[in-house]
Amino acid sequence: MSEENLDWVRSHLSENEFEHWEKLSMADKRHSFQVARRASSEIGEEGKEFMAAALLHDIGKLESGFTTFGRVFATLVCLFFPLGKMEKWAQKNRGLRRRLIDYAKHPELGAKLLKGIGSKEQTITWVLEHHSEREKWDTPKEIAEILSSSDND
């Protein structure tokens, strides 16, 4: 990602938020950047907290790979299976488990993380509800529609 794009991202986030955003995988960074770019033409500069929401909507994916369950599970598997077989099997299952946890948990994990670093209420709200049904949105309808249609994952 170019310096220019990184500066653009930085200008829409607090220092704390940017620090966490930077830890996302390259694929997640690129996705969040694209979502925010698409949304920016319609949301504009007055909606800074919503631009932050666009950039941070999937930030919960940072946490989902490191559950206690995952670590305990991996330790147990190590005790019972021969190494070569286990590695293959664990890889397959890690992928599956990871995807499941990502989908089920990343909005909640993300909202919690952002609360902890002092993000704006409107930012946290969208992160929490970005996979919820329209009827349950607390984010203003027009903004939520823009954010949702910019996010194609």
Q: Can you tell me which residue has the tokens 């996979």? A: 131
Q: Is 129 in the site for Fe ion (CB under 5 A)?
A: no
HSE (CB half, 13 Å, CA atoms) of 81?
Answer: 14
- The least distance separating Fe ion from the CB of residue 151, rounded to whole angstroms, comes to 4
Q: How far is the CB of 71 from Fe ion (least distance, A)?
A: 24
> Smaller CB distance to Fe ion: residue 94 or 131?
131
Q: How far is the CB of 28 from Fe ion (least distance, A)?
A: 8
Q: In terms of Cα–Cα distance, which of 59, 66, 61 is closest to 117?
A: 59
Nearest Cα residue to 98 out of 124, 121, 67: 67
Helices 48-56 & 141-150 angle (0-180, nearest 10): 30
Number of residues in contact with Fe ion under rule CB under 5 A: 3
CB-nearer residue toward Fe ion: 138 or 153 = 153
Establish if 151 lies at the interface with Fe ion (CB under 5 A).
yes
Min dist. Cβ of residue 39 to Fe ion (A)? 11
According to DSSP H, which parts of 44-82 are helical?
48-56, 61-64, 68-80
Residue 133 to residue 135: CA distance in whole angstroms: 6
* Contact mark string toward Fe ion, 47..76, x via CB under 5 A: -----------x------------------
Binding site for Fe ion (CB under 5 A): 58, 151, 153
